[in-house]
Amino acid sequence: MDDLWSLPSITIILSAILMCIMLMYAIMYRQERGVRYFVWVLGCRVVYAGSVILEISRADLQSKLFFRNIEQTTLLFMVPLMVLFVLDLVGKDRWLRLRWSFSLLALFACWAVVIWADPYWHIINRTQNLINGHLVMTKTPYALAFNLLCYTIIAGCIFVLIRYIRNSRPEFRIAGMWLLLFGSIPLLVEMMKLFMPTLSPWLLPLSVYSGICGMIMFWIIVRKKLFSSVPMARNIVVETMREGMLIMNTTGKIIDSNKLARLLLEDDNNRPILGRSYRDILTAWPQWQSACANMEDCRIEISTRTGHEKKSYIVNVYPFFTQRQRKLGTISVIIDITEKQQALEQIAHLNQMKDQLFTAVSHDIRNPLAVQINLLELLEQEQGPSNQADNEILHALGEQIRNTNTIVENLMEWFRGQKEGIVLHPESYLLSAIVEEACRLLLQNIKVKQLTLHVLIDEDIRVYVDREALILVIRNLLSNAIKYSNQGGVIRLSARTTESRVEISVTDTGVGMSEEQIRNVFDENRFDSTVGTAGEKGTGLGLLVSRQFLHMCGGCLKVHSKPGSGSNFTIVLEDGDLR
């Protein structure tokens, strides 16, 4: 019963309890980064401490050697487990695949076999002696070299952990540094035992006490929830961003960047950009350079070549501040818009092809229509009263051809008006000449519908306008007046000057329009067209094109109408005598 409460027994019981707790923790939080490996690191440390106590409590050489081998084996496996823990913590998942993990553990397992077979091979220890009841061993050069390799690997892991903790949130940095400190104490003790074997009798008990550090480390991890709360290390988050990041301090020195920024800004010699001035890096982009110098918000678009490919980027520059709003520098966020830019260029190219195709087609349509209208006018001039049926056919054909020509002209002009960069050339013209040209093609339509046209234009009135645009507008208004006039109706085309303006009115005695129809006339998104009094059809583009061209000439269009009382369309233009 007394043996149950001896120091070795208590140590073993406490170690077993701690191991069970850690295993439960590992199962509960197995999805958190690093937990599954770090728990086993701590477990090895607990087993090591228990083995040291059991070694001290034994008196014979063989028992001491047995527990010393357990100590060395647990220390050995702490190395690969520590490596796997760090790789898991910083997100290097591709190195955690089963074959890599198994290969790493298998390498150290082979050395563990050498440790246990050392009484036969004598590769690890040169001497094994009991001095005053303590086991003192001297290592062979092979063992020293392997131990140095292990300590180098552990030192590399600690370096990575220090960088990881520095990039974590401030509230976790202190706990993380304490964790590293307690983890380093046993390492220092083991290094002293390796290089000063004569001090082993005094250092061995110290190893037990430093083993308690593993329990403290586990308590810190559980209390602070480090593995579940500490954010990903900076290099994982920043390097996997799809946007570039460039951070500069108040002096203009680059203090941080990620992969995309480095690909964009490094020169042909691949000189690192860290620590260099923005004046050296951003010489190709003065606006970006100015924003960084003044530490101000800015959004610019840049283009450059990366390898053999042209790239386009949007750069957003933001200043960042202390809590007291003192500027600390700037951060530039670089967004790759190459695909979007290429899509826009492709759309522009397709639009250009569409414009060329439309222009070619319109030319091929206009020319035959012009020829048909000329032939039609010759036939109309030569027609006689003898054959009434032929005359009616000729009139119907003429109406269709002229209507088609008007629709084509309006469609072409509307399309031309939608194209960016269209420019009209207004000049001072005699209004009467323009009106005569506009009416000429519509005289036959007026005659067929037996309408009366009164043109009351003073021959001295001049207007400041694009000539072709005004001809198109007047022709559209006259076409509408003819379309919606009853047979035998009257159309009046007049003009008057008022101060610096000229008002041209086209008035008919047709069906008129309601207030809703008038609103639709001025709706840019509607192309409504009602059937005329003789069944004429249209596209609704005529008035839309007219309004657009008048607006570009500095004029406007007014409408007054009532159902059954006809309509009055008024063109308001600048007086040409003032030019």
pLDDT at 315: 92
Strand pairing class (452-456; 490-498): parallel
pLDDT at 116: 92
Beta bridge partners of 428: 464
* Res. 57 pLDDT band, cuts 50 70 90: confident
H or E segment at 466?
none
- Comparing 4 with 517, the larger pLDDT belongs to 517
pLDDT at 238: 67
* Res. 576 pLDDT band, cuts 50 70 90: confident
Report the share of the chain in percent with pLDDT over 90. Answer: 11
**What is the sign of the dihedral through the CA atoms of 522, 523, 526 and 531?**
negative
Structure tokens at 377: 């006018």
Note the pLDDT tens digit of each residue in 226-260: 655 444 445 556 666 778 888 888 888 888 888 88
* Whether pLDDT at 506 is above 90: yes
pLDDT at 490: 92
Maximal CA-CA distance, the chain: 149
Most confident of 6-10, 177-181, 199-203, 212-216: 177-181
Note the pLDDT tens digit of each residue in 271-282: 778 788 888 888
Note the pLDDT tens digit of each residue in 163-211: 777 766 555 677 777 777 777 776 777 777 777 766 666 666 665 555 5
- Comparing 488 with 346, the larger pLDDT belongs to 488
pLDDT at 231: 46
Looking from the CA of 398 toward its CB, the CA atoms found within 13 Å total 24
pLDDT at 425: 77
- Comparing 222 with 101, the larger pLDDT belongs to 101
Note the pLDDT tens digit of each residue in 66-117: 988 998 898 899 899 989 888 887 767 777 788 888 888 999 999 999 999 9
Distances (CA, A) of 467 to 283, 421, 458, 503, 556: 51, 19, 18, 16, 16
- Whole-model pTM: value is 0.42
Reduced DSSP (H G I as helix, E B as strand, rest coil) percent helix, strand, coil of the chain, to 5 = 60, 20, 25
If you write DSSP's letter for every residue of 178-190 in order, what string do you get? HHHHHHHHHHHHH
Question: Whole-angstrom Cα distance, residue 73 to residue 105?
Answer: 12
CA dihedral 214, 219, 224, 229 (to 10 degrees): 60
Which segment of 1-10, 181-190, 297-306 scores lowest on mean pLDDT? 1-10
Quick check: 330 and 288 in contact, CB under 8 A?
A: no
Distances (CA, A) of 237 to 31, 142, 230, 333: 19, 41, 13, 14
Quick check: 38 and 85 in contact, CB under 8 A?
A: yes
* Res. 528 pLDDT band, cuts 50 70 90: low
Structure tokens at 473: 């507008």
Quick check: 312 and 341 in contact, CB under 8 A?
A: yes
pLDDT at 50: 75
Report the share of the chain in percent with pLDDT over 70. Answer: 69
CA 473, distance to chain mean position in Å, is: 47
Question: Whole-angstrom Cα distance, residue 97 to residue 99?
Answer: 6
Distances (CA, A) of 119 to 58, 107, 143, 232, 324: 19, 21, 14, 47, 69
* Lookup result for tokens 């109706």: 489
Question: Whole-angstrom Cα distance, residue 93 to residue 236?
Answer: 11
- Residue of 271, 346, 343, 267 lying closest to 305 (CA atoms): 267
- Comparing 55 with 368, the larger pLDDT belongs to 55
| Alpha helix segments (H runs only) across 383-491 | 388-418, 431-440, 443-448, 467-483
Q: What is the mean pLDDT of the chain?
A: 77
* Whether pLDDT at 7 is above 60: no
Beta-carbon count within 10 A of 61 CB: 12
pLDDT at 539: 60
pLDDT at 151: 87
* Whether pLDDT at 457 is above 80: yes
pLDDT at 192: 75
Question: Whole-angstrom Cα distance, residue 127 to residue 116?
Answer: 15
* Whether pLDDT at 443 is above 70: yes
**Average pLDDT over every residue of 372-401:** 67
Phi and psi at 514, nearest 5°, equal -85, 170
If you write DSSP's letter for every residue of 136-193 in order, what string do you get? EEEE-HHHHHHHHHHHHHHHHHHHHHHHHHHTS-HHHHHHHHHHHHHHHHHHHHHHHH
Question: Can you tell me whether residue 414 is helix, strand or coil?
Answer: helix
